[in-house]
Amino acid sequence: MEIIRGSAHFQLGLDQIEQLDHLFQMNPEMVGVAFVGRSNVGKSSLINTLFGKKTAKVSKTPGRTREINVFSFNLGERGKIDDTLPPFILFDLPGYGHAEVSKQMLKNWQQLMSSFFEFLPTSVSLINIQDARHPDQNADQQFHQFLRTSPHYTIISFNKIDKFKKQKEKAALEKKKKELFSKYKWVKQINFVSAENGDGLPQLEQDIIGFCLEQYNFLQDLKED
Ligand SMILES: Nc1nc2c(ncn2[C@@H]2O[C@H](COP(=O)(O)OP(=O)(O)OP(=O)(O)O)[C@@H](O)[C@H]2O)c(=O)[nH]1
Ligand SMILES: [Mg+2]
Protein backbone atom coordinates (compact mmCIF):
# COMPACT_ATOMS: atom_id res chain seq x y z
CA MET A 1 0.00 0.00 0.00
CA GLU A 2 1.17 3.54 -0.67
CA ILE A 3 0.01 7.12 -0.34
CA ILE A 4 -1.06 8.09 -3.84
CA ARG A 5 1.10 11.09 -4.68
CA GLY A 6 -1.00 13.87 -6.03
CA SER A 7 -4.24 12.45 -4.62
CA ALA A 8 -4.03 15.05 -1.87
CA HIS A 9 -6.55 17.82 -2.33
CA PHE A 10 -6.93 20.96 -0.33
CA GLN A 11 -10.34 20.99 1.35
CA LEU A 12 -10.38 24.11 3.47
CA GLY A 13 -8.39 26.43 5.67
CA LEU A 14 -9.88 27.41 8.98
CA ASP A 15 -9.00 29.72 11.84
CA GLN A 16 -12.23 29.87 13.85
CA ILE A 17 -13.32 27.49 16.58
CA GLU A 18 -16.86 27.42 15.11
CA GLN A 19 -15.49 26.18 11.78
CA LEU A 20 -13.54 23.50 13.60
CA ASP A 21 -16.60 22.34 15.56
CA HIS A 22 -18.53 22.15 12.33
CA LEU A 23 -15.85 20.06 10.62
CA PHE A 24 -15.65 17.57 13.49
CA GLN A 25 -19.44 17.33 13.78
CA MET A 26 -19.86 16.63 10.09
CA ASN A 27 -17.05 14.04 10.03
CA PRO A 28 -17.07 12.07 13.28
CA GLU A 29 -15.41 9.14 11.52
CA MET A 30 -12.51 10.98 9.98
CA VAL A 31 -9.33 8.90 9.81
CA GLY A 32 -5.94 10.40 9.13
CA VAL A 33 -2.96 12.35 10.42
CA ALA A 34 -2.13 15.84 11.67
CA PHE A 35 1.32 17.41 11.28
CA VAL A 36 2.21 19.76 14.09
CA GLY A 37 5.43 21.37 15.25
CA ARG A 38 7.37 24.58 15.73
CA SER A 39 7.43 27.05 12.94
CA ASN A 40 9.98 26.30 10.22
CA VAL A 41 10.77 22.69 11.20
CA GLY A 42 9.58 21.48 7.80
CA LYS A 43 5.98 20.33 8.31
CA SER A 44 4.84 21.58 4.92
CA SER A 45 7.97 20.25 3.21
CA LEU A 46 7.42 16.78 4.66
CA ILE A 47 3.78 16.87 3.64
CA ASN A 48 4.80 17.71 0.10
CA THR A 49 7.28 14.84 -0.16
CA LEU A 50 4.85 12.33 1.32
CA PHE A 51 1.61 13.44 -0.31
CA GLY A 52 2.68 15.03 -3.58
CA LYS A 53 4.66 18.02 -4.60
CA LYS A 54 2.26 20.86 -4.38
CA THR A 55 0.11 19.86 -1.45
CA ALA A 56 1.23 22.42 1.14
CA LYS A 57 2.84 25.83 0.90
CA VAL A 58 6.48 25.88 1.97
CA SER A 59 7.48 29.04 3.78
CA LYS A 60 10.23 31.40 2.84
CA THR A 61 9.49 33.24 6.04
CA PRO A 62 8.76 31.27 9.20
CA GLY A 63 5.25 31.29 10.57
CA ARG A 64 3.68 31.18 7.15
CA THR A 65 1.06 28.56 7.86
CA ARG A 66 -1.38 30.45 10.07
CA GLU A 67 -4.54 28.49 9.46
CA ILE A 68 -5.40 24.89 9.99
CA ASN A 69 -5.17 23.52 6.46
CA VAL A 70 -7.27 20.46 5.75
CA PHE A 71 -6.55 18.06 2.89
CA SER A 72 -7.90 14.71 1.79
CA PHE A 73 -5.71 11.95 0.36
CA ASN A 74 -6.06 8.40 -0.92
CA LEU A 75 -4.24 5.13 -0.47
CA GLY A 76 -3.67 2.60 -3.18
CA GLU A 77 -1.15 0.51 -5.04
CA ARG A 78 1.20 1.12 -7.96
CA GLY A 79 -0.01 4.68 -8.39
CA LYS A 80 -3.71 3.70 -8.49
CA ILE A 81 -6.25 4.75 -5.89
CA ASP A 82 -7.88 1.87 -4.00
CA ASP A 83 -11.52 2.88 -4.30
CA THR A 84 -12.72 0.36 -1.75
CA LEU A 85 -11.19 2.74 0.81
CA PRO A 86 -12.53 6.19 1.68
CA PRO A 87 -10.44 9.33 1.36
CA PHE A 88 -8.34 9.99 4.46
CA ILE A 89 -7.72 13.33 6.12
CA LEU A 90 -4.54 15.33 6.53
CA PHE A 91 -4.06 18.41 8.71
CA ASP A 92 -1.21 20.88 8.28
CA LEU A 93 -1.38 22.80 11.56
CA PRO A 94 0.00 26.28 12.12
CA GLY A 95 3.46 26.25 13.67
CA TYR A 96 3.83 27.01 17.35
CA GLY A 97 6.61 28.81 19.17
CA HIS A 98 7.51 31.43 16.61
CA ALA A 99 9.28 34.20 18.53
CA GLU A 100 7.95 37.07 16.47
CA VAL A 101 4.24 36.48 16.79
CA SER A 102 2.23 38.91 18.85
CA LYS A 103 0.60 38.01 22.15
CA GLN A 104 -2.77 38.14 20.42
CA MET A 105 -1.67 35.63 17.79
CA LEU A 106 -0.30 33.34 20.44
CA LYS A 107 -3.57 33.49 22.30
CA ASN A 108 -5.49 32.70 19.12
CA TRP A 109 -3.22 29.75 18.42
CA GLN A 110 -3.69 28.39 21.92
CA GLN A 111 -7.46 28.70 21.81
CA LEU A 112 -7.79 27.15 18.40
CA MET A 113 -5.34 24.36 19.17
CA SER A 114 -6.82 23.46 22.53
CA SER A 115 -10.21 22.94 20.86
CA PHE A 116 -8.50 21.06 18.08
CA PHE A 117 -6.82 18.56 20.39
CA GLU A 118 -9.85 18.29 22.62
CA PHE A 119 -12.35 17.47 19.87
CA LEU A 120 -10.14 15.75 17.32
CA PRO A 121 -11.34 12.14 16.89
CA THR A 122 -8.83 9.59 18.17
CA SER A 123 -8.84 8.08 14.68
CA VAL A 124 -6.49 10.93 13.70
CA SER A 125 -2.89 10.54 14.81
CA LEU A 126 -0.51 13.39 15.64
CA ILE A 127 2.87 13.67 13.99
CA ASN A 128 4.97 16.12 15.92
CA ILE A 129 7.80 17.37 13.74
CA GLN A 130 10.89 18.65 15.51
CA ASP A 131 14.15 20.01 14.16
CA ALA A 132 16.75 17.26 14.66
CA ARG A 133 19.39 19.89 15.38
CA HIS A 134 17.28 21.56 18.06
CA PRO A 135 15.00 18.93 19.58
CA ASP A 136 12.74 19.42 22.59
CA GLN A 137 12.82 23.21 22.69
CA ASN A 138 10.73 25.17 25.21
CA ALA A 139 7.89 25.46 22.74
CA ASP A 140 7.99 21.69 22.13
CA GLN A 141 7.88 21.05 25.84
CA GLN A 142 4.89 23.35 26.24
CA PHE A 143 3.18 21.66 23.33
CA HIS A 144 3.65 18.25 24.93
CA GLN A 145 1.89 19.51 28.02
CA PHE A 146 -1.15 19.93 25.76
CA LEU A 147 -0.84 16.26 24.83
CA ARG A 148 -0.34 14.88 28.33
CA THR A 149 -3.95 13.89 28.69
CA SER A 150 -4.65 13.42 25.00
CA PRO A 151 -5.65 9.92 23.88
CA HIS A 152 -4.22 10.39 20.38
CA TYR A 153 -1.60 8.15 18.84
CA THR A 154 1.48 10.39 18.74
CA ILE A 155 4.70 10.13 16.76
CA ILE A 156 7.72 12.45 16.94
CA SER A 157 9.69 12.86 13.71
CA PHE A 158 13.06 14.57 13.91
CA ASN A 159 13.40 16.32 10.55
CA LYS A 160 16.40 17.76 8.65
CA ILE A 161 18.76 14.89 9.50
CA ASP A 162 20.48 15.61 6.17
CA LYS A 163 22.16 18.43 8.07
CA PHE A 164 24.03 15.89 10.18
CA LYS A 165 27.41 15.08 8.77
CA LYS A 166 29.08 13.70 11.86
CA GLN A 167 28.47 10.38 13.59
CA LYS A 168 28.66 12.21 16.89
CA GLU A 169 25.57 14.28 16.09
CA LYS A 170 23.61 11.16 15.22
CA ALA A 171 24.67 9.45 18.43
CA ALA A 172 23.53 12.47 20.45
CA LEU A 173 20.13 12.31 18.79
CA GLU A 174 19.79 8.60 19.60
CA LYS A 175 20.39 9.50 23.20
CA LYS A 176 17.81 12.26 23.01
CA LYS A 177 15.32 9.78 21.62
CA LYS A 178 15.65 7.53 24.68
CA GLU A 179 15.34 10.54 26.95
CA LEU A 180 12.16 11.75 25.25
CA PHE A 181 10.54 8.33 25.39
CA SER A 182 10.82 8.29 29.14
CA LYS A 183 9.81 11.95 29.46
CA TYR A 184 6.81 11.84 27.13
CA LYS A 185 5.13 8.54 27.94
CA TRP A 186 2.34 9.22 25.45
CA VAL A 187 4.69 9.18 22.46
CA LYS A 188 4.46 5.85 20.62
CA GLN A 189 7.29 6.25 18.12
CA ILE A 190 10.24 8.52 17.41
CA ASN A 191 11.89 8.47 14.00
CA PHE A 192 14.50 10.41 12.00
CA VAL A 193 13.61 11.90 8.63
CA SER A 194 14.65 14.40 5.98
CA ALA A 195 12.22 16.13 3.65
CA GLU A 196 15.29 17.24 1.73
CA ASN A 197 16.74 13.86 0.74
CA GLY A 198 13.89 11.49 1.66
CA ASP A 199 15.69 9.63 4.46
CA GLY A 200 13.34 7.81 6.79
CA LEU A 201 10.27 8.70 4.75
CA PRO A 202 9.34 5.20 3.48
CA GLN A 203 9.07 4.08 7.10
CA LEU A 204 7.04 7.13 8.11
CA GLU A 205 4.76 6.55 5.12
CA GLN A 206 4.18 2.92 6.18
CA ASP A 207 3.45 4.05 9.74
CA ILE A 208 0.84 6.51 8.45
CA ILE A 209 -0.75 3.87 6.20
CA GLY A 210 -0.75 1.27 8.98
CA PHE A 211 -2.44 3.67 11.36
CA CYS A 212 -5.09 4.75 8.82
CA LEU A 213 -6.02 1.19 7.83
CA GLU A 214 -6.18 0.02 11.41
CA GLN A 215 -8.50 2.86 12.39
CA TYR A 216 -10.65 2.44 9.31
CA ASN A 217 -11.06 -1.31 9.94
CA PHE A 218 -11.80 -0.65 13.59
CA LEU A 219 -14.61 1.76 12.71
CA GLN A 220 -16.00 -0.70 10.13
CA ASP A 221 -16.05 -3.49 12.73
CA LEU A 222 -17.95 -1.26 15.13
CA LYS A 223 -20.64 -0.74 12.52
CA GLU A 224 -21.05 -4.45 11.86
CA ASP A 225 -21.65 -5.27 15.53
N1 LIG B 1 18.01 20.91 5.04
C2 LIG B 1 16.70 20.72 5.16
N3 LIG B 1 15.85 21.77 5.05
C4 LIG B 1 14.53 21.55 5.18
C5 LIG B 1 14.00 20.24 5.41
N6 LIG B 1 12.66 20.35 5.51
C7 LIG B 1 12.34 21.65 5.34
N8 LIG B 1 13.46 22.40 5.14
C9 LIG B 1 13.51 23.86 4.93
O10 LIG B 1 13.01 24.52 6.10
C11 LIG B 1 12.24 25.68 5.77
C12 LIG B 1 10.84 25.63 6.38
O13 LIG B 1 10.11 24.58 5.79
P14 LIG B 1 8.50 24.51 5.87
O15 LIG B 1 8.16 23.17 5.31
O16 LIG B 1 7.86 25.68 5.30
O17 LIG B 1 8.30 24.53 7.45
P18 LIG B 1 6.93 24.54 8.28
O19 LIG B 1 7.17 23.71 9.48
O20 LIG B 1 5.78 24.17 7.42
O21 LIG B 1 6.85 26.08 8.69
P22 LIG B 1 5.55 26.92 9.16
O23 LIG B 1 4.47 26.67 8.15
O24 LIG B 1 6.06 28.30 9.16
O25 LIG B 1 5.17 26.46 10.51
C26 LIG B 1 12.24 25.76 4.25
O27 LIG B 1 13.25 26.65 3.85
C28 LIG B 1 12.56 24.33 3.82
O29 LIG B 1 13.18 24.27 2.57
C30 LIG B 1 14.95 19.13 5.50
O31 LIG B 1 14.62 17.96 5.71
N32 LIG B 1 16.28 19.45 5.38
MG1 LIG C 1 3.99 25.17 6.94
User: What average pLDDT score do residues 23-52 get?
Assistant: 94
**pLDDT score of 179 more than 90:** yes
pLDDT digits (tens, 9 = 90+) for 10-23: 999 998 999 999 99
- β-partners of residue 14 are 68
Q: Which ligand is nearest to the CA of 98?
A: 1
Distance CA 13, CA 203 (A): 28
Q: Is 130 in the pocket of ligand 1 (CB under 6 A)?
A: no
Ligand 1 centroid to Cα of residue 108, in Å, is: 23
Q: Is 132 in the pocket of ligand 1 (CB under 6 A)?
A: no
pTM above 0.75, yes or no: yes
Q: Note the CATH number of domain 2-224.
A: 3.40.50.300
- Position 61 scores a pLDDT of 60
User: What average pLDDT score do residues 172-190 get?
Assistant: 93
pLDDT digits (tens, 9 = 90+) for 80-107: 999 999 999 999 998 887 666 677 777 8
**pLDDT score of 57 more than 70:** no
Q: Is 39 in the pocket of ligand 1 (CB under 6 A)?
A: yes
Identify whether the C-beta of residue 36 lies closer than 8 Å to the C-beta of residue 94: no
Q: Is 49 in the pocket of ligand 1 (CB under 6 A)?
A: no
The domains of the chain are located at 2-224
